A and B are shown apart, each in its own frame.
Chain A
Amino acid sequence: MMERDFGSALRTALAGLPEGAVESLEVSGSVATLRVNLGSLRAVLESLKSFPEAACDFPANLTAYDTGEEMFLVYRLASIERGWQALVLCRVDRSEPAAPSVTDLWPGFNWFEREVYDMFGVRFEGHPDLRRILLPDDWEGFPFRKDYVSRPSGSPLRGPQPIDRGAQG
């Protein structure tokens, strides 16, 4: 059974980590959802990649979300050979969001980390070139945070532009 094999493979890969690193681990079908604490995030991701039992070496996705009270990072790593994937959720400090960068493990996450910084303000320590990627360089604020306030500029050549709320779907 995929679930059982995947579950036991993950437990083997994460066995060497300190107590409390992984707050919860659920496997449903071929997707495992892990909640880890920030201090062990890097160790968990490294273990998932390097342990041949887990072999989650494909960087599928990296994003974040903000509920207004909490901010989470969401990593999705896949193992192309084994056919399973791990969704890793990690809470970061909402007032001063920071996390270790994984660009040395997966160069594919370089731009994903820049985008999370651009939209949420999460500083990835160890990132070679952490700057805005989608918004103009002189933008103030991090728009995807729930406490972001838009202050329209007066010119169409500079942002932010005025929002027409009457046009909401």
Chain B
Amino acid sequence: MSLEPRTDPNPPTAEPETPAKGPAIDAQALHQEILDLGTQGMVMNMGPQHPSTHGVLRLILTLDGEEVMACEPMIGYLHRGLEKMAERRPYRHFLPFTDRLDYVCSLANNLACAQAIERLAGVEVPERAQWLRVALMELNRIASHLLFLGTFGTDLGATTMLLYAFREREEALALLEAITGARLTYNWIRVGGLPDDMPENWDKGVLAFCDLLESRLPEYDRLLTDNPIFRRRTEGVGVVSPEDAKAYGLTGPTLRASGVAYDIRRWAPYEKYAEIDFDVVVLRDGDTFARYLARRLELEQSVRILRQVFDKLPEGPIASKVGKVLKPPPGIAFSQVESPRGELSFTMVSDGSPNPVRVHIRAPSFANLTVLADLVAGNKVADVVAILGSIDIVLGEVDR
């Protein structure tokens, strides 16, 4: 190989018609040939093992350079057939399995399942249990949103946020462990109430945690909300209009960030939410930043709810008596719960026997994920991660 500097015998000029050397070339034909070459999209596989897909989600991206032309999500890598397993068991034996659906907010699943059985069988829940269920739900909502803040920051590269969010999350998990005995899969809601009352001074612990969290919120804002790089990566990315959001069946903060005020706690109040004073966080922009901000502001609302619960908590039984064998009358009933991801709903069909005929789990992440394919088209690969993170899915409930 020669070490002399190589000169291009045909340096490109502004007008391609006149090459510097060589025989005369039909420039028009050459130009047309170059235009006819055409380009192909590159198909790239993202997942199922990927640090940013929030579990086992596989995205088949067709790329034109760095721009995404099409995206096909493939799910089912965590499918267990839980709904079929429910048909082989008595109603209440299914409750421990529900923890493992949306495993970041297990109590929401427990509550939705128990509520569906209660509506099907006509079981009443005592007042004290209803108030405590609200407290448990909101504490779990805080834990879930803290996990979202941490993982969303990590997806975009702001890894510090994960450590800060988990620091507070450990406090919330310690409180939940004090009452339920478990850190993640609580299984602490029963048909008719709760298994046991709260321990001594648990309410003081929760209120102290509320104060702690409020003091740490400015730190999260310094790290993410007011961070110019974070803003540049999330503002204007993945905008969903309110009409599209409703047509796709989005729920939860993903929907409320697009301007639609649909929160089951206000729309179809369950437990004691009708007697609690709180705001539903609705934002107008519909972009990734709005979806993030909706969850960040919901932290404050959950703290507000928690503070009211213990003022109004009455004395009384913690569960109503339900017989040994639960045989609801034939029929169909459904429950609706506002989980941190959206509307979680269990539909149960009974034929009078101890086992259900059908249990269907309407998972908010399953419905929210349908918008991803149309939303990422036209965006860059880096935006795919931001948009997916902002929808906040948990694959356990997508696949069931």
Which residues from chain A sit less than 8 Å from chain B, CB to CB? 30, 33, 57-61, 63, 65-67, 74, 76, 80, 83, 87, 89, 106-112, 119, 132-136, 143-144, 168-169
Contact = CB atoms under 8 A, between A and B. Distances in A.
Contacts of B76: 132-136
A65 B249 contact: no
**Is chain A's interface secondary structure helix, strand, loop, or mixed overall?**
mixed
Contacts of B249: 58-60, 106, 108-109
Contact of A74 (B84, B262, B332, B374): B332
Interface stretch (B32-40, B54-62, B360-368): B360-368
Given A108-B249, A135-B76, A143 B347 contact: no
A31 to B, nearest CB: 8
Q: Which 7 A-B pairs have the closest CB atoms?
A: A108-B249, A65-B358, A169-B93, A134-B76, A63-B360, A108-B248, A134-B79
Contacts of A110: 370
30 contacts: A59-B249, A61-B360, A61-B362, A63-B360, A63-B362, A67-B357, A76-B334, A76-B345, A76-B362, A80-B260, A80-B261, A83-B267, A83-B268, A106-B247, A107-B248, A108-B250, A109-B249, A111-B370, A112-B366, A112-B367, A132-B76, A133-B76, A134-B399, A135-B79, A143-B84, A144-B84, A144-B358, A168-B89, A169-B89, A169-B93
A63 B345 CA distance: 12
Interface residues of B, number: 40
A65 B247 contact: no
B347 A74 contact: yes
Interface of B: 75-76, 79, 81, 83-84, 88-90, 93-94, 96, 246-250, 260-262, 267-268, 332, 334, 343, 345, 347, 349, 351, 357-358, 360, 362, 366-367, 369-370, 374, 399-400
A107 B370 contact: yes
B332 A61 contact: no
A66 B83 CA distance: 13
A128 to B, nearest CB: 12
Contacts of A83: 267-268
Contacts of A30: 268
A89 B247 contact: no
Query: Which of B358, B369, B399: most chain A Cβ within 10 A?
Result: B358
Contacts of B260: 80
B332 A60 contact: no
Contacts of B89: 168-169
A61 B246 contact: no
Nearest to B88: A168
Given A108-B248, A108-B367, A143-B81, A61 B347 contact: yes
A119 B246 CA distance: 26
A76 B90 CA distance: 25
Contacts of A143: 81, 84
A60 B262 CA distance: 12
A119 B358 CA distance: 12
A89 B362 contact: no
B314 to A, nearest CB: 25
Contacts of B351: 67
Contacts of B88: 168
Given A60-B345, A87-B334, A168-B89, 19 more contacts: A33-B332, A58-B249, A60-B343, A61-B347, A61-B360, A61-B362, A63-B360, A76-B334, A83-B268, A108-B370, A109-B249, A111-B370, A112-B366, A136-B76, A143-B84, A144-B83, A144-B84, A169-B93, A169-B94
A33, A76, A107, most chain B CB atoms within 10 A? A107
B122 to A, nearest CB: 13
A23 B121 CA distance: 25
Nearest to A65: B358
A111 to B, nearest CB: 5
A64 to B, nearest CB: 8
Contacts of B334: 61, 76, 87
A66 B84 CA distance: 11
Contacts of A61: 334, 345, 347, 360, 362
A111 B84 contact: no
Contact of A65 (B250, B357, B400): B357
Contacts of B343: 60
Contacts of B94: 169
Contact of B347 (A63, A80, A135, A136): A63
A61 B364 CA distance: 10
Given A60-B343, A168-B89, A87 B332 contact: yes
A67 B268 CA distance: 30
A30 B332 CA distance: 16
A66 B358 contact: yes
A117 to B, nearest CB: 13
